[in-house]
Structure 1
Amino acid sequence: MEKNWIKIFETGDFFRAEMIRQALAEHEIDAVIINKQDSIVHMGPVELFTHENEAAAAQQVIEEMTEEI
């Protein structure tokens, strides 16, 4: 991964992370998912990273999404 990427979200649910990544893409914010879950028992974190200069905008999108849920 390139430098200057920071973690903006962590969850145990891969599908939630993917929904957030797609919402960020709709706002033209690049994000990547790092899935650290064990493939058999699905335990462990799923992390979402974005470039540091997009982190504030990404956090705002994430906050708006969690308010809707």
Structure 2
Amino acid sequence: MEKNWVKIFTSTNYYQSEIVKQMLTGNHIDAVMLNKQSSSHQAFGDIEVYIHQEDFSQAIEIMILNQISI
């Protein structure tokens, strides 16, 4: 992954992580998901959402307004 990406959200729930990613991209913030779950058993591991470092403050505001726990 390129430099200047920071983790904004972590969950074991794929759909919750996808909702966070879509909410951020819907507000013009580039976001990517990194799935670290085991391919054989998805109950182990996390799914992380990353954004550019310069978008961090705006992303936090959006997440707070949408009542997403950080």
Which TM-score tier does this pair reach, normalised by the shorter chain? 0.7 to 0.9
Give the structure with the larger helix fraction: 1
Aligned-residue identity in percent: 34
Q: How far apart, in 2, do the equivalents of 1:63 and 1:39 lie?
A: 32
Aligned length in residues: 67
2:54 corresponds to:
53
1:19 corresponds to:
19
CA RMSD of aligned residues (A): 1.2
Q: How far apart, in 1, do the equivalents of 2:58 and 2:11 lie?
A: 19
What TM-score do the two structures reach when normalised by structure 1?
A: 0.87
The residue identity in structure 1 corresponding to 2:66 is M
Which blocks of at least 5 consecutive residues in structure 1 are unaligned?
Answer: none
The residue identity in structure 1 corresponding to 2:38 is D
